[in-house]
Amino acid sequence: MSAAAPAIVRTAAQTIGQTIGQTIAQKIIAAHCGRDQVSVGEYVTVSPDYTACQELFWPGHKRNLERIGVDRIPRPDKAVMVIDHSTSAAMGSHHHETHRTLRDWCESQGIENFFGPGNGLRHLVLTERGFARPGTLIFSDEGNIATIGVLGALNLPISTEVIVAIIQDENWIAVPPSARITLTGRLGFGVTARDLIQTILRDCTADGRLLQCCVEFDGPGLATLSLDDRQAILASLFHSGAYTGIMEPDALALDYVRARDAGRPWQVVRADPDASYMTRLTYDLAAIQPMVTVPPDAHGAVPVEQAAGRRIDQATIGSCANGRLDDMREAARLLRGRQVAPHVTLYVTPGSRGVYVEAAREGLLEVLAEAGATILAPGCTTCWGYQGVLNENEVLISTQQFNYHGRNGARSSRVYLAGPAVVAASAVAGRITDPRDMLSEVEA
């Protein structure tokens, strides 16, 4: 692990001082390395606004810190530490030890931004607590935190290199290329943002057209989506091989930021009209239909009718992909007055304490529980198999992130991925089903 950056290779345009059009990612990176502009592929050293870590990787991070002999870190105010995967520590597990050592280390370093079990996912901690603001740059140890891009903040996942950023308040990166996806139209009845991102993954993963790109989203269709919808899109984007994702914040996003910034600075960053993109795509939201991703590939999405009828044993709603308030509302809309099939276990995990509280205030948790759902503590829970373990040959339909064999228990089990509407409807039917028939009854 080295903090020394490779030699910078400058383009001809930079050599002669020519101005080149900048993407959002280029502008944010340039601002954080004291430059007016940067070029794709160029290595630069940047100082982040924050570095976010979670507890599963903490034992390895701690060993590295001990090997290096770090006593004090220079900017404890920039470290954000969250326990979000192992929200509880079962007897016989090692997680309680990890919780304690991370908590003690944060206290010894003067890190006030420590969020213990029950606070929820880092993605939502960063947005709800005002860390993610337009123009900010946040290092993390996982790629799916691109969700903060919904507010115009840039996440750069650097794996174990987060320790370098914590120790030195900087690290080098290679400036990523960018891609642009324009959204038009409006999602149809019974269709969710999860169906859109599953469609994008189906189209773009195999040929690598988004590989290592920062994907910018724009277009009139974006304004028809809630902030929760937009986060659902960005959360799963990393399955395409994309490096990260971001959206130019509109009035809805900026109102959200202003309510949470606590006076901390931020600046809206927009791409130049002549910015260069590796690829440009357009999706008409009206053409998207309910999708189901068939195991074992996260990009194996098919229209729901192609998977319909498959008997399920378990259903889960939650994870960084779909654990937000809109997802709770969508599930409750379908489950109100209905019962989960007797042979199905349904788990629902609010993504954060804030989501949990608001869902309770709106009566959503009551609706879900009365329908037969088990409400779990905010965090990752079932997504990585920590809870809701599958037996041999069992079938799960879930809003989680992964569906490879063995992700949630026995290798012979199967995990189908879908949005909250499909999952809730399937939990009632006891088999994978198109939610639109049930939703039609609700709307009637």
Parse the chain into domains and list their residue ranges. Answer: 1-289, 291-439
| pLDDT of the residue at 143 | 76
Tell me, yes or no, if the two domains 1-289 and 291-439 fold the same way. Answer: yes
356-377 pLDDT, tens digit per residue, is 999 999 999 999 999 999 999 9
Residue 9: per-residue pLDDT: 35
Side by side, which strands form the sheet with 244-247? 244-247, 214-218, 178-184, 280-284
Task: Determine the pLDDT at residue 184.
Answer: 98
Which pLDDT does position 1 carry in this prediction? 36
Angle at 349 between CA 345 and CA 355, to 5 degrees: 145
In this structure, what token pair is assigned to residue 234? 């960005």
Instruction: Return the pLDDT at 8.
Output: 34
Residue 18: its pLDDT value, please? Answer: 64
- Is residue 296 reached through a cis peptide bond, with omega within 30 degrees of 0 on the bond before it? yes
Q: What is the CATH number of domain 1-289?
A: 3.30.499.10
**What would the pLDDT profile of 212-255 be if each residue is shown by its tens digit?**
999 999 999 999 999 999 999 999 999 999 999 999 999 999 99
pTM, two decimals, is 0.92
Residue where the block lists tokens 């599963």: 56
CATH number among 1.20.120.420, 3.30.499.10, 3.60.130.10, 2.40.50.460, domain 291-439: 3.30.499.10
Task: Check if the beta carbon of residue 56 is closer than 8 Å to that of residue 143.
Answer: no
pLDDT for the residue numbered 12: 35
pLDDT at res. 381: 87
Question: Which tokens in the block code for residue 96?
Answer: 């309680």
* DSSP of 343-395: T-EEEE--SBHHHHHHHHHTTHHHHHHHTTEEEPPSSSGGGGTSSS-B-TT-E
Q: Which residues pair with 375 in a beta bridge?
A: 348
Closest by CA to 94, choosing from 59, 119, 65, is: 59
Please provide the distance, in angstroms rounded to a whole number, between the alpha carbons at the two ends of the chain: 60
Residue 417 CA to residue 315 CA, distance in Å, equals 10
Q: Residues of the chain whose pLDDT is less than 70?
A: 1-18, 89-92, 444
Report how far residue 338's alpha carbon sits from residue 333's, in angstroms, rounded to the nearest whole number. Answer: 10
